[in-house]
Amino acid sequence: MRENGNTAEAAATLREGVQCLKPLFLRSPSAFRPLMRSLVQDYLRACETAGLEVDSDLLGDIVPLLSDDKAPDAET
Q: pLDDT tens across 26-57, in order?
A: 999 999 999 999 999 999 999 999 999 999 99
The distance from CA 25 to its chain's CA centroid, rounded to whole angstroms, is 10
Task: Name the helix (H) or strand (E) containing 16.
Answer: helix 7-27
Say how far residue 64 (Cα) sits from the centre of its chain. Answer: 12
- Which amino acid is present at 62? I
Report the alpha-carbon distance of residue 63 to residue 52 in Å, rounded: 19
Distance of CA 55 to the CA centre of its chain: 10
* Helix 29-50 with 7-27: angle, nearest 10 deg: 160
pTM to 2 decimal places: 0.83
